[in-house]
Structure 1
Amino acid sequence: MSEVYPSDNELLNLMSDEDTGVEYIPTGAAPYYLHFRKLLYRLLLATKRANDLRVFAEGGLEIGVKPGKYWSGTSLIEYGGSVGNALADEQASIFVYLDSAGQLVVDEYAAFPDMSQEVHVRLAVVRTSGGEVVEITDARDHHSISVPAMNSASSGVGTIEGHTVNDLLTADDSGSVHTNSGATGPVTLTLPAGAAAGTRFGFAVQASQVLYVDPGAAAILDDCGQTAGKSKYASTLGECIELMADANGDWVTISKRGVWMEEA
């Protein structure tokens, strides 16, 4: 059955909407256009956030995306909006989304990525035909209610990741443990620059290869050396080290096991 309206009498006696503050136009009000503009003004205020990251057609095979903000883990990302994004023609489904780096993707035709494999923000599914955008299905409802993921340091749940190639860690990974499990050669893991005080990481050697921890321009403050820009390394199975960012932009050794050295 279709949704029903309140009775005519109830509708005619409505003065305003309590939740949004939108005022109904009184019967017989004059000048009518002024009351209509007041109504429209309040409606736009109440719905403005619904425009964030909205995909819209620009004519032909081009789409635009309105500016907006979204959470990626515990980081608030601001997307500045874009226009002139060209799409392929004769596509039944184009899955439009922002990847983890905030880049717009408009050439995915199979499905949205698996969220467990690639963190992203779903925007729309677009259909094209005859040189035109013929349908846009909003996909932002996939994120209508979202709680930023707590990192392991605050949630009490630890994560561990093995690396076989060099990698750059991010502050969002705080509280996690990183190893060289499966590596067949040296692996360098670089700490995030400018991390907030209290950001912490653990490192463990799980393959008989050299595991380097690179502080970038900062220093890892340890009894084997405290030189800025110098990595710490170990290569024996079971050796591990835990580091925490301090208020000066450096990294303090909280605990360690085995022999960790500072590069020359």
Structure 2
Amino acid sequence: MAEVYPSDNELLNMQSDSETGVEYIPTGTAPYYLHFRKLLYRLLLAARRANDLRVYDKGGLEVGVKSGKFWLGTGLINYAGSSGNTLADDKVNIYIYLNSSGTLVTNEYNSFPDMATTPHIRLAQVCTSGGDIDSITDCRTGHNIVLPYGAGGIKKTIEAHTANDTLTAAESGSVHTNLGASATVTLTLPASASVGTVFSFAVQAAQQLRIDPGTAAIRDDSGQTADKYKSAGTIGASLTIIAESAGNWATIAKNGTWTEET
């Protein structure tokens, strides 16, 4: 059912919109064009942020993207806007987004990436055919608006393990401990993790915490051998690793003594 308007009487008696500050033009106002410009001015102020990172049709197979900013962790990334982005023809779905470095991606045809493994800003879904753009669906929904971590926004997930477990790529960015464990705990890393998948580990019980990379290697100063776990058993020891392009795990932070399986 279509959305209904207020009654004619209500509309004629409205003075202003309290949420946006937009003022209605009183009946019989003169000169009308001046009040119309005032109305338009307030409307544009209220709608200005809605234009950030908006994908628009440039004619033919070209789209433009308006400028805008977004947070990635505690870093504010500024996208300057672009035009003349030529899309592929005869595509039912083209998923347009900005990756974590602020680069525009216009050649994804299956779906938007998994947000858990590939942080990105979703902009639009476009359909093309016959050398033209058929439709642009705006995808800049509320998931794009977040508080940066340092300001009290998105927090890391922390999980305490008292038994062996296998981590998934969707858990990237999380922290894992052995708090409450009464024996050795082995945590197995996901196989073939996407580049940039990151995990942190912290020993919180005086038991050995083992990080098993499967057939990959965890590279640090204790060794770089494939299919060998790293372990520590002293409370306070911590390790942060990230999946790299060679299919292994690079150590980017370490505290305490971690040893490689012999």
Q: TM-score, normalised by structure 2?
A: 0.65
Give the corresponding residue for 1:159.
Answer: 175
Query: Distance in 2 between the 1:184 and 1:10 partners?
Result: 69
1:177 counterpart letter in structure 2: F
The farther-off stretch of 56-65 and 179-188 is: 179-188
Q: Which runs of 5+ in 1 are unaligned?
A: 190-204, 212-234, 245-252
The farther-off stretch of 176-185 and 121-130 is: 176-185
Question: Residues 1-264 of structure 1 correspond to what in structure 2 (within 5 A)?
Answer: 1-141=1-141, 143=143, 146-148=146-148, 150-152=154-156, 158-159=174-175, 176-177=200-201, 181-182=213-214, 187=219, 209-210=223-224, 237-239=230-232, 241-242=237-238, 255-257=255-257
Identity %: 50
Query: Distance in 2 between the 1:127 and 1:258 partners?
Result: 52
Query: Distance in 1 between the 2:216 and 2:129 partners?
Result: 49
Q: Which runs of 5+ in 2 are unaligned?
A: 160-173, 177-187, 203-210, 241-252
Query: Distance in 2 between the 1:113 and 1:28 partners?
Result: 54
Query: Distance in 2 between the 1:186 and 1:4 partners?
Result: 61
CA offsets 1:1-49 (integer angstroms, 9 cap, x no match) = 2211111111111111111110111111111111100000000000100
Check conservation: 1:97, 1:104, Cα contact below 8 A. yes
Pairwise CA distance, 1:185: 5.7
Give the corresponding residue for 2:165.
Answer: none
Pairwise CA distance, 1:181: 2.5
What SS class does the counterpart of residue 69 from structure 2 fall into? strand
Pairwise CA distance, 1:94: 0.6
Root mean square deviation, CA, Å: 3.6
Check conservation: 2:146, 2:154, Cα contact below 8 A. no
Check conservation: 2:212, 2:230, Cα contact below 8 A. no
CA offsets 1:37-83 (integer angstroms, 9 cap, x no match) = 00000000001000011000111111011111122234332211111
Question: In structure 2, do the counterparts of structure 1 residues 236 and 26 end up closer, same or farther at CA, with 3 Å as the change threshold?
Answer: closer
Question: In structure 2, do the counterparts of structure 1 residues 237 and 42 end up closer, same or farther at CA, with 3 Å as the change threshold?
Answer: closer
Task: Say how many residue pairs are matched.
Answer: 205
Q: TM-score, normalised by structure 1?
A: 0.64
CA offsets 1:183-208 (integer angstroms, 9 cap, x no match) = 6667259xxxxxxxxxxxxxxx6xxx
